């Protein structure tokens, strides 16, 4: 065990520490965190509509649904301005945090990133109407002359310029494009700002005006480079780059994320880092939020639109089922200590940590027990969440519990979190209780073993 720990400390932990402090990844992580006000507001709207519209409709409470129509409509407006345009919101927060990491004007960075994302959006909307009967030839000629097309004599198709594809590009499916062009545009902007390739205004000019003028040249260069990339790609391939990114990068990565191996690897790395005192969830946030967070946003938008849920395992699945009670399912360590431990020091820490642990705050037990760098607790700390991940993965993929479709604040107690996250599936409570029981069984022998470890003077 000591040899393994020494090897990890020498070769793995330094790399993880560098990754965790790398400014581009930190900016990416903080950009996702900054979207939380919009994400949570949109999640509340989706959840309320489930209880005010979807479930009552299934139960036949049509009078209640009719009465709640104004509330449902308001929730729809909230969803439209939050989850439905999450890629737009994220492009702004990414530019802000990335420019901040380079110590240049953060607000200008947000504007540059947002603009770079919008310039790549498709601007033509199309629609098709299927008629009951076949159109006469004269009507077909009139429609064709007006710019439309008629297929099979009864399907009318038309396109119009000046419309962004709201449903296809602005939600979760646009996140990867927002990341790529946010990085390209903001890094170019920041490098030019640092190189002082700017318009210098006299000292008498107000600071806000001076900042705006200083950003003109860097922003113009950055945005023109993004424009050239978009134009060149579309000209050579005939396909908008945002669609290509979605089809060739985002979709395959999301497909890989649904595999059991990917889920277990993420869980293992998060807890291995935590064991060495490094915030594993933060270090892995670029992966958790970029891939699983994108899937989460797509699920929430599909749920709001009453479409088929595309992904069974998303970012919220980890919070709801894998580590209820905090990383390592340490809430069950606390329960095991309070039941089986004979050590006064452990029981004291357990009593103090129980309240925060119920709300998934486990720093008191992580550093007070401690679990960090404690060889006795390394195995259960990593094994318990891997076991709960396995149980939850099988249950979700087998359809024994609904996929997560609502983002729930991370301090929501275990059981309630899963119930709300799955849109009110009572089976999520059962799954959480099963996982808590599994974690308790894993932690219990190590707590009993700790009774035999002599107290240090």
Q: How far apart are CA 176 and CA 90, in angstroms?
A: 10
Annotate 315-353 with b (16+ C-beta within 10 A) or e (fewer). Answer: bbbbbbbbbbbbbbbbbbbbbbbeebbebeebeebbeeb
Place of tokens 């998934």: 360
Place of tokens 């990754």: 19
Q: Is 411 in a helix, a strand, or coil?
A: coil
Task: For residue 400, count other CB atoms closer than 10 A to its CB.
Answer: 14
Max Cα distance, the chain (Å): 98
The average pLDDT across 208-226 equals: 90
- pLDDT exceeds 90 at position 120: no
pLDDT for the residue numbered 182: 95
The average pLDDT across 317-341 equals: 91
Summarised one tens digit per residue, pLDDT across range 187-198 is 999 999 999 988
The residues spanned by each domain of the chain are 25-118+172-236, 124-161, 261-451
pLDDT for the residue numbered 457: 45
H or E element in which residue 261 lies: helix 260-275
pLDDT for the residue numbered 263: 94
Q: Where are the beta strands (DSSP E) in 15-136?
A: 124-130
pTM of the model: 0.78
The average pLDDT across 138-152 equals: 77
Q: How far apart are CA 404 and CA 358, in angstroms?
A: 21
Q: Is 129 in a helix, a strand, or coil?
A: strand
Where is average pLDDT lowest: 4-8, 241-245, 256-260?
4-8
Place of tokens 């059981």: 415
Please count the residues of the chain. 457
Summarised one tens digit per residue, pLDDT across range 365-414 is 888 888 887 888 888 999 999 999 999 999 999 999 999 998 888 888 88
- Higher pLDDT, residue 341 or 154: 341
Whole-number percent of the chain with pLDDT over 70: 94
């Amino acid at each position: 065990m000591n040899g393994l720990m020494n090897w990890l400390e020498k070769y793995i932990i330094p790399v993880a520490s560098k990754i965790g402090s790398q400014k581009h990844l930190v900016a990416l992580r903080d950009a996702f965190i900054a979207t939380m006000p919009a994400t949570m507001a949109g999640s509340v709207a989706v959840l309320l509509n489930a209880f005010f519209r979807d479930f009552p409709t299934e139960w036949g409470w049509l009078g209640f649904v009719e009465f709640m129509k104004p509330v449902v409509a308001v929730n729809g407006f909230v969803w439209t301005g939050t989850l439905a345009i999450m890629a737009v919101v994220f492009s702004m927060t990414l530019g802000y945090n990335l420019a901040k990491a380079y110590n240049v004007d953060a607000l200008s960075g947000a504007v540059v990133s947002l603009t770079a994302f919008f310039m790549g959006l498709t601007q033509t909307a199309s629609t098709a109407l299927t008629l009951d009967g076949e159109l006469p030839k004269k009507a077909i000629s009139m429609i064709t002359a007006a710019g439309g097309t008629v297929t099979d004599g009864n399907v009318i198709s038309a396109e119009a310029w000046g419309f962004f594809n709201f449903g296809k590009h602005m939600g979760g499916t646009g996140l990867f494009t927002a990341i790529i062009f946010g990085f390209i545009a903001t890094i170019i902007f920041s490098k030019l700002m640092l190189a002082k390739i700017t318009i210098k205004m006299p000292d008498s000019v107000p600071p806000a005006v001076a900042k705006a003028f200083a950003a003109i040249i860097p922003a113009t260069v950055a945005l023109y480079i993004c424009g050239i990339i978009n134009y060149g790609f579309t000209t050579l391939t005939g396909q908008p780059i945002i669609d290509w990114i979605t089809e060739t990068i985002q979709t395959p990565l999301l497909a890989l994320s649904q595999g059991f191996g990917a889920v277990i690897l993420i869980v293992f790395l998060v807890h291995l880092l935590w064991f060495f005192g490094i915030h594993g969830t933060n270090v892995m946030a670029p992966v958790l939020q970029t891939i699983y967070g994108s899937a989460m946003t797509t699920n929430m938008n599909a749920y709001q639109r009453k479409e088929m849920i595309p992904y069974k395992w998303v970012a919220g699945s980890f919070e709801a089922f894998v580590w209820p009670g905090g990383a390592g399912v340490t809430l069950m360590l606390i329960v095991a200590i309070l039941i089986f431990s004979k050590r006064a020091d452990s029981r004291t820490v357990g009593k103090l940590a129980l309240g925060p642990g119920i709300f998934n705050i486990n720093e008191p037990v992580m550093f007070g027990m401690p679990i960090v760098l404690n060889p006795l607790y390394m195995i259960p700390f990593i094994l318990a969440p891997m076991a709960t991940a396995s149980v939850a993965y099988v249950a979700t993929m087998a359809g024994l519990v609904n996929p997560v479709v609502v983002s729930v604040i991370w301090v929501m107690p275990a059981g309630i979190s899963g119930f709300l996250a799955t849109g009110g599936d009572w089976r999520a409570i059962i799954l959480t209780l099963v996982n808590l029981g599994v974690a308790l069984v894993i932690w219990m022998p190590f707590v009993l073993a700790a009774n035999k470890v002599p107290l240090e003077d």
